[in-house]
Amino acid sequence: MVTDERAIRELVRKVVLRTVGAVDSAPGRVERDTRLVTQQDVESVPPGQELRTGGEAIVTPLARQAALERRVSIVSGDQPATPGPAGDTGRTVALAADHGGFEMKESLAGHLRERGFQVVDCGTHGREAVDYPDYALAAARLVARGRARAAIVVDGAGIGSCMAANKVPGIRAAMCYDEATAVNSREHNDANVLTLGAGLIGGALAKRIVDTWLDTPHAGGRHARRVDKIMDIERRYLRERA
């Protein structure tokens, strides 16, 4: 029975290579253009940088999780880099909404810019009916890829967008409806995506929630241990898929 973690990873790597029909010609190399991108490959890249792969590269779930944790962007060699702000993202906020949250999004965009934040507007850009999961995903993905410090997503109730954003690995989305929940989601849970319900709260309250949420630091300590346990649930499921 194999118990060494490195041996297990190597076994999984060889199984995947055999499954896709690639040849393991040498350590870290695969014949043809097909290549398996592993956790070790990602960890060899400095945090915040890009890892370019071949057009047929296969990225393991553990590699994707490591990329999220190290803010490494995995980019196919035949595709352009992921769009979005580069460099210091400490003042960059992704903003998105469906048709029900469009007007509140527009108001929040101006408010955030007045506060000195760089806003990446992920849409929607009008009142025509759209599907909120598409916009929640667009904003959450920028956070997960290290292109934004945080994201704010607005729909009618804030619930559906929260569910959608939380499907993105590395995301901790929280629906907040007052300043107390905004403080708790940051201080205790280190939330990196905020969702709001335009049909539940007014514009003035939304701005106060956003300000409170952005200005509240994570408390660390026992809360950090619990956040680690939340993220470990995600890592466990990713390992099972590897």
In the set 111, 125, 188, 223, the catalytic residue is 188
Note if 188 is an active site residue.
yes
Evaluated on CA atoms 75, 77, 83, 87, the torsion sign reads positive
**Distance of alpha carbon 226 from alpha carbon 188, whole angstroms:** 8
- CA atoms in the 13 A half-sphere facing the CB of 78: 5
In sequence order, the β-bridge partners of residue 152 are 95, 194
**Distance of alpha carbon 137 from alpha carbon 161, whole angstroms:** 8
Residues 6+ apart with CB under 8 A from 66: 39, 42, 43, 72
182: amino acid identity, one letter: A
120: amino acid identity, one letter: V
Give the CA angle between residues 219, 222, 228 to the nearest 5°. Answer: 90
Length of the chain: 242
Task: Evaluate whether 96 touches 106 at the Cβ level (below 8 Å).
Answer: no
Q: Hey, which residues are catalytic here? A: 188
